[in-house]
């Protein structure tokens, strides 16, 4: 049975960020993830995790100025120093919380631009080697072009080839099923092919990015496929609830008891 993590940047937004940990625990989650913890001290986040007996599955490295549209800088040759600083910003959060996965955002850049491609490879290697001594895996996640126009990493095949070519053991794929379905479809065949390099999975309905209980994808089938494939990692619930978060947790009810 998949181990679900509530994404606290998307779910339980009815309450302030630090109160979402309790809300997730009360709803039956044993793990959480979120985009950015940087408005809070690492100790405050670690305290909430301890208090509610939650595992932090994943968080993102700093993205730059998110409200101004920045989406990271791994593929930005002009922002290599910022990328290096971002690793040092994130590390205390990972150490304080015990998180074993971080997501490295690629940034907005042309995938066919040679300098951007080179910068991306270098950033992946630098980030993976930076986190390796701490037992932390670095994820890269292809994002669909409709939600994030101009994002450098918008193809699962490109991500796969890069991870395989670089061959760094703690560099892995963040397989967001929502993005995969929009970009390529054929989700099950891709899960089967890519399982050896997948470090984290996320879910949402397609196309609305809401609860994984209707629309294009048959999530109960996908969850049992993850079991058949022996996936032992986390599945992040990264969707925008249609109404109150707790009203939309019907999809989770039958998994709740087994979510240890």
Binding residues for ligand LASSHYVV (CB under 6 A): 35, 60, 103, 105, 141, 143, 176, 179, 202, 238
Give the CA distances from residue 256 to residues 13, 22, 238, 260, in Å, rounded to whole numbers and listed in that order: 20, 16, 17, 9
∠ CA 156-69-122, rounded to 5°: 50
> Among residues 179 and 190, whose Cβ is nearest to ligand LASSHYVV?
179
Q: Of these residues, 22, 70, 141, 165, which one is catalytic?
A: 141
Q: How far is the CB of 45 from Mg ion (least distance, A)?
A: 20
Cα dihedral 123/125/126/132 (nearest 10): 140
Closest to 109 in 3D by CA, of 155, 143, 152:
152
Q: Is 54 left (phi over 0), alpha (psi -120 to 50) or beta?
A: beta
> Among residues 183 and 226, whose Cβ is nearest to ligand LASSHYVV?
183
Q: Of these residues, 33, 165, 211, 238, which one is catalytic?
A: 238
- Catalytic (active site) residue 165: no
CA 8 to CA 46: how far, in whole Å? Answer: 14
x/- contact string, 147-176, with Mg ion (CB under 5 A)? -----------------------------x
Q: Which residue is nearest to Mg ion (CB)?
A: 176
∠ CA 253-258-260, rounded to 5°: 120
- 104, two tokens: 């490295």
- Catalytic (active site) residue 238: yes
Query: Pick from ligand LASSHYVV, Mg ion, none: which does 154 bind, CB < 5 to 8 A by kind?
Result: none
List, in order, residues 6 or more apart from 53 with CB less than 8 Å away: 25, 30
Q: Which residue is nearest to ligand LASSHYVV (CB)?
A: 176
**Subset of residues 184 to 213 that bind Mg ion, contact rule: CB under 5 A:** 202
Query: Pick from ligand LASSHYVV, Mg ion, none: which does 103 bind, CB < 5 to 8 A by kind?
Result: ligand LASSHYVV
Give the interface with Mg ion as residue ranges (CB under 5 A): 176, 202, 238
């Amino acid at each position: 049975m998949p181990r679900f993590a509530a994404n606290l940047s998307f779910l339980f937004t009815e309450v302030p960020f630090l109160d979402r940990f309790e809300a997730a625990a009360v709803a039956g989650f044993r793990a959480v993830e979120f985009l950015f913890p940087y408005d809070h001290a690492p100790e405050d986040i670690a305290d909430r995790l301890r208090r509610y007996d939650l595992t932090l599955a994943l968080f993102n490295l700093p993205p730059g100025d998110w409200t101004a549209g920045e989406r990271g800088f791994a593929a930005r040759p002009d922002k290599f120093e910022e990328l290096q600083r971002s690793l040092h910003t994130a590390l205390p959060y990972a150490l304080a919380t015990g998180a074993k996965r971080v997501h490295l955002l690629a940034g907005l850049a042309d995938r066919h631009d040679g300098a951007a491609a080179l910068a991306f490879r270098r950033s992946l290697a630098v980030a993976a080697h930076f986190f390796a001594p701490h037992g932390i895996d670095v994820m890269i996640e292809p994002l669909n072009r409709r939600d994030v126009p101009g994002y450098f990493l918008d193809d699962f095949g490109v991500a796969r080839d890069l991870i395989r070519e670089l061959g760094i053991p703690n560099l892995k794929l963040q397989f967001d099923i929502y993005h995969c379905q929009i970009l390529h479809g054929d989700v099950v065949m891709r899960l089967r092919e890519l399982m050896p390099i997948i470090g984290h999975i996320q879910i949402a309905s397609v196309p609305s990015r809401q609860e994984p209980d209707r629309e294009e994808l048959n999530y109960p089938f996908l969850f049992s496929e993850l079991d058949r494939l022996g996936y032992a990692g986390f599945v992040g619930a990264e969707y925008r609830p249609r109404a109150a978060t707790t009203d939309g947790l019907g999809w989770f009810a039958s998994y709740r008891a087994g979510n240890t």
